[in-house]
Amino acid sequence: MTTVAAVDCGTNTIKLMVADLDRETGRADVRVRESRMVRLGQGVDRTGELAPEALERTFAAIDEYAALVAQHPVERVRFCATSAARDARNGEEFAAGVAARLGVRPDVVAGTEEARLSFDGAVRNLRASHPEPLLVVDIGGGSTELILGDLASGVRQAHSMDIGSVRMHERHLGGDPPTPAQVAAAASDIDAALDACPVDPSEAATVVGVAGTILTVAAGVLGLDRYDRERIDQSVLPRDAVHLQAAAYLGMTVEERLALPYMHPGRADVIGAGALVLDRVLERTGVGSIVVSEADILDGIAWSLV
């Protein structure tokens, strides 16, 4: 067994996993799994830079994570930064801050690498047999990855689109709740990205959804009175139910979303945008449901260390 620490720093969320991994058996004993909403990508789409307050929030979370990592016999650490860090002009300030706190510089992964890690993390967690090919959908704050592949040969095609929940919210959905015209503009932007995407969702026999936006939508579709990881993981959501849930979020104010018992406060303002992305992707598939996986890119990062 090798003890590793993996960090996934996206546009909205930074996550940590400390685990004992056995490459021979594929066994993972998770010691720590944490998530913090830091909104690193605040304003990046508009300014092209990481905001000082966003860096402050993110560095505070990394300080917490460094303390947690120090409590375990970690042999290898990998810190992956995705959409916001890729897009920012002041990325070196961010990288230096990470290195000072964790002793490693962040890997600012390209979209194709991000997709590969997401696919690997998601499919390792599947506990039932599903028709192939599999389409993994990973909706982040700044980008959305579509990855088509199968269990035997891995990724066939992958593409990263700049249509994440934070980006779409900041770009289009300024109303509270958003106006129909704002929702239509966001949907048009998402559809344009999908039109240009080389990965065709209609080729999928099974759709697997990962990351916070989709997990939150799942909690809503399932009608949970709290966030319940065990009930959400491996749940199967009808496509029509996802459509209705997206419409419900877009019709709510932020205050009404915050009142939902499973809603994380850091996701309440952008969940409508994220759910709309998911709805538009599913509209292009030929399947009637989506399988939800709690495992995601963070698991892929951890396994990349062994």
Q: What is the mean pLDDT of residues 105-114?
A: 82
116 inside domain: no
* Tally of structural domains, the chain: 2
Same domain for 93 and 135, yes or no, is no
- Mean pLDDT over the full length of the chain: 91
- How many CA atoms lie within 13 Å of 295's alpha carbon, on the beta-carbon side? 18
Weakest-pLDDT range from 72-81, 89-98, 273-282: 89-98
Tell me: do 187 and 277 sit in the same domain: yes
pLDDT band at 152 (very low <50, low <70, confident <90, very high): confident
Domain that holds residue 21: 2-108
* Confidence label for 257 from pLDDT (cuts 50, 70 and 90): very high
Position 115 in a domain:
no
Residues 133 and 102 in one domain: no
pLDDT band, residue 250 (cuts 50/70/90): very high
For 74-152, strand residue ranges (E) read 76-81, 107-108, 134-139, 144-150
DSSP 134-152: EEEEEE-SS-EEEEEEETT
Shared domain for 14 and 87, answered yes or no, is yes
Mean pLDDT of 57-73: 96
Q: Is residue 180 assigned to a domain?
A: yes
Closest CA to 13 of 65, 77, 52, 89: 65
Compute the average pLDDT of residues 57-85: 92
pLDDT of residue 86 exceeding 80, the answer is: no
The verdict on 21 and 169 lying in the same domain is no
In a shared domain, residues 188 and 96: no
Q: Is 83 a residue whose pLDDT tops 70? A: no
Q: In CATH, what number is assigned to the domain containing residue 80? A: 3.30.420.40
Strands lying side by side in the sheet with 154-161: 154-161, 144-150, 134-139, 206-210, 289-292, 236-238
Beta-carbon-side half-sphere exposure of residue 168 (alpha carbons within 13 Å): 35
Output the CA torsion sign for 44, 135, 118, 273: positive
Return the minimum-mean-pLDDT range out of 51-55, 125-129, 275-279, 302-306. Answer: 125-129
> For residue range 223-235, what is the model confidence (pLDDT) as tens digits?
999 999 889 999 9
Which of 42, 64, 46, 45 has its CA nearest to residue 55? 42
Domain assignment present for 302: no
Domain boundary among 76, 108, 140: 108
Based on the domain organization, do 135 and 83 belong to the same domain? Answer: no
Instruction: Identify the three-state secondary structure at position 66.
Output: helix
